[in-house]
Structure 1
Amino acid sequence: MNTHTETDIIDSDFNPIDSDLYAKAFQLLDPAPEPAALTTRATPAAPAQVPLNPPVAPPVRLTGPVEKTLTDALTFLDTHGWARRSLVHPEGARCSIGALRAAAGARNAAYCDAGNLLLDEARRQHGKKWETIPSWNDSHSGAQVRSVWEAAIRRAQHMNI
């Protein structure tokens, strides 16, 4: 067995240390204060220096429920794949509305608002004729669909929703 214990360590492996080294170092770091009686004159205390512009941590930006739903849905599409003409493809890919449903988990307010924002962005980029997300999704390429998703996420972020 090749297990080493503390007794296996040979003292000659280590360099000898000056025993006063630590005492000298601590004295330099924390010199003994002079007693008040030994000081001959009192010196006024220097005013504390306060930086004019103290460092400020950047504000934490909270992600709104609509932005989170859109972001999670796009991540779902990136992970499982994007599909046309099928809510859920047998191999797991989904269309835009299918990814939105998977990300929201339920047809709640965030789901509805995210869907409305996505469809509005699809209409901005591809014309007002689109009535539903599935009809728009099935009529465009993957790159065009992704562009709309990314723009909708940016809008949700900008609107802080």
Structure 2
Amino acid sequence: MTTRTDTHFAPVDQDLYAKAFQLLDPTPEPVAPAVPAAPAPGPAVLAAPPVHRPGVVERTLTDALAFLDTHGWAKHRLIHPEGARCSIGALRAAAGARNAAYRDAGNLLLDEARHQHGKQWESIPSWNDSHTGAQVRSVWEAAIQRAHHSNI
């Protein structure tokens, strides 16, 4: 078997190619020497803001205030027949037992009550029974903020 390797191509005219490229790009810009490019920045890592995880005291105070909002606030009794509670009753309901969260949340609440209404208050029930609902709520909200900022 014989294989032909002669392709009979026409010879390349280099001047013709040069003229064709000049017609396509009549004023070529000078080529600057290659400058190493700055490294491409890596993927931007955006730091997410820290997620606040309420501490046990903040959670207990928040749950107790939500309990008061839902069931009502009472004076002169731990639990009203219709379900409303005084501040100490709401703390007990939120904590579920007389545990460390209950004790620490109660101490913070009483400390805030003394801060807002004077040092004479010996207990949460005596303070609760001597003030209006708006005054009591103000103390609850301030105590929750203190717990939040203290991360407790």
Q: Among residues 117, 131, 151, which one is paired with 2:122 in the alignment?
A: 131
What does 1:1-161 correspond to in 2, within 5 Å? 47-50=39-42, 54-161=45-152
TM-score under structure 1 length normalisation: 0.69
- Quick check: which has more Rg, 1 or 2? 2
**Against the structure 1 CA distance between its residues 126 and 46, is the aligned structure 2 distance closer, same or farther, given a 3 Å change threshold?**
closer
Q: State the 1:48 CA deviation.
A: 3.6
TM-superposition CA deviations, 1:71-100 (whole Å, max 9, x none): 000000000000000100010000000000
Question: In structure 1, what is the equivalent of residue 4 of structure 2?
Answer: none
- Consecutive unaligned residues in structure 1, runs of 5 or more: 1-43
Poorly superposed stretches of 4+, deviation over 3 Å = 44-48
Q: State the 1:56 CA deviation.
A: 1.4
Q: Percent identity at matched positions? A: 79
- Consecutive unaligned residues in structure 2, runs of 5 or more: 1-35
TM-superposition CA deviations, 1:112-154 (whole Å, max 9, x none): 0000000000000000000000000000000000000000000
